Structures are given as structure tokens and as C-alpha cells.
């Protein structure tokens, strides 16, 4: 019995992680932190939570060693504790997609137009980027692009899409990506670009999916380049 109790202590440590993940708000906070470091205030705004509630969720995640923090003046900033957390989130999503039939309908209700805009496959996107037959645009906020982006992508936040569309070449496919398969930014971008007569498709991959697939990512400010 004593030996079994020791074994149970191992599972107790596993349970610390699973308990920390057992709240939709905390999963969303982790998903936001995949995009880069954020302050408590910024996370509260993005997650539509009070600062107090956000802090409580972050403390639970910190207690399970899923996030790290640092203080800068009066602000506290959080980031993922490491790549293992990123892989855990991806594994959780893949398991839910494989085992929960209702997830597809829930996602369809949120991602309006998903069925009308089939995503480009990863291998095909890699091929087109290598041949130069596609332009890849990152439609997330610029600070997320600067924290990490698919190598070769151009930063075109949604607010700058109209200006980009006016000068985008008509003979090359524009591929838009955002925060991953459950982000609406890329869908909105494709809808707008197609209305302007531009051949546009979306990628379900975000930076996290790209990085975990072993494909190159970069960080830093966007360069001013012609389409």
C-alpha cells in the first residue's frame, strides 16, 4: 500500500497540470500567450475579463508552472513557461478534434464562412512560398508579428488590409494567417481581399503550428516591402 501511495503522488503532479487547464478562460489566456508575452491588463482586455479575475487565473497557471512572469515597473508580464506548454495545448486541441464530434459544429457557428474558404494545405503553402507564387501575410496585430512570425510573412494587420489590397499583385495568390485554426482574422482578411478581386486563401496554421512542425519562424519588426 505504501508503495502505491508513492505512485499516486506522481499522478497528483500530473493532476496539477490538468486542474490548471480545466477552465475555458485559462485556456484562452494560454492561447493568447502563445502569440507572445502580455501584461495582465492586456490579457484582461483580450479575454474580456476583469483584471482581478485574470490575475486569479494567471496565478493558477503559474502555480502549475505553465506560465512565467516578470515585473516591469507597476506592470506584471506573463509568458508561456516553455515549448512543452505549447505542445500540450496543441495535443489537447487535436484530442478534442478527434474525439468530440460536437466541436466541429461549435467551431462552424463561430467561424462564419469557414466552409466557403477552404484552407491551403501546409505542404502546398511551403511549395508556393519556395517558388514565389504566393504572398504570405500575417493579419494579427503588429506586436504579435514582432514577437514571432512565419519566416517570409509580411505584417498586414486587418486595419491595414485595405491599403495592402490596393497595391497587391493580381497574379499571385495571397495567403493570410492569424492565430491558428480557431481565429477569425484570416477568414475576415480572405473575404475582404476576394471582394477586391484578389486571389486569396487562408492558412489554418498559426506561428505555433508552423514552429512545432519544425518550419522556420522569425521575430522582429516588419520590413517595408512592395507586394
Active site residues: 178
CA-only gyration radius of the chain, Å:
20
Nine-digit cell string for 185:
482574422
The Cα–Cα gap between 12 and 6 comes to: 10
In terms of phi and psi (left: phi > 0; alpha: psi -120 to 50; beta: otherwise), the region of 111 is beta
The Cα–Cα gap between 134 and 68 comes to: 37
- Main-chain dihedrals φ then ψ at residue 129, nearest 5 degrees: -65, -35
What residues form DSSP beta bridges with 77? Answer: 39, 70
Amino acid at each position: 500500500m505504501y508503495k502505491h501511495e508513492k505512485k499516486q503522488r506522481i499522478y497528483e503532479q500530473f493532476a496539477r497540470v490538468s486542474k490548471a487547464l480545466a477552465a475555458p478562460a485559462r485556456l484562452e489566456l494560454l492561447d493568447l500567450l502563445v502569440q507572445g508575452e502580455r501584461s495582465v491588463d492586456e490579457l484582461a482586455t483580450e479575454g474580456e475579463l476583469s483584471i482581478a479575475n485574470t490575475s486569479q487565473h494567471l496565478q493558477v497557471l503559474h502555480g502549475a508552472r505553465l506560465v512565467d512572469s516578470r515585473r516591469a515597473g507597476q506592470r506584471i508580464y506573463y509568458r508561456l513557461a516553455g515549448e512543452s506548454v505549447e505542445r500540450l495545448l496543441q495535443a489537447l486541441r487535436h484530442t478534442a478534434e478527434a474525439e468530440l464530434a460536437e466541436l466541429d459544429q461549435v467551431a462552424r457557428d463561430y467561424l462564419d464562412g469557414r466552409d466557403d474558404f477552404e484552407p491551403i494545405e501546409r505542404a502546398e503553402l511551403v511549395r508556393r512560398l519556395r517558388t514565389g507564387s504566393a504572398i504570405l501575410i500575417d493579419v494579427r496585430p503588429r506586436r504579435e508579428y514582432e514577437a514571432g512570425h512565419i519566416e517570409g510573412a509580411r505584417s498586414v494587420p486587418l486595419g491595414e488590409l485595405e491599403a495592402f489590397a490596393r497595391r497587391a499583385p493580381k497574379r499571385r495568390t495571397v495567403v493570410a494567417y492569424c492565430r491558428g485554426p480557431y481565429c477569425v482574422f484570416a477568414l475576415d482578411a480572405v473575404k475582404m481581399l476576394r471582394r477586391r478581386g484578389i486571389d486569396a486563401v487562408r492558412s489554418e496554421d498559426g506561428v505555433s503550428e508552423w514552429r512545432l512542425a519544425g518550419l522556420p519562424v522569425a521575430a522582429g519588426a516588419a520590413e517595408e516591402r512592395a507586394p
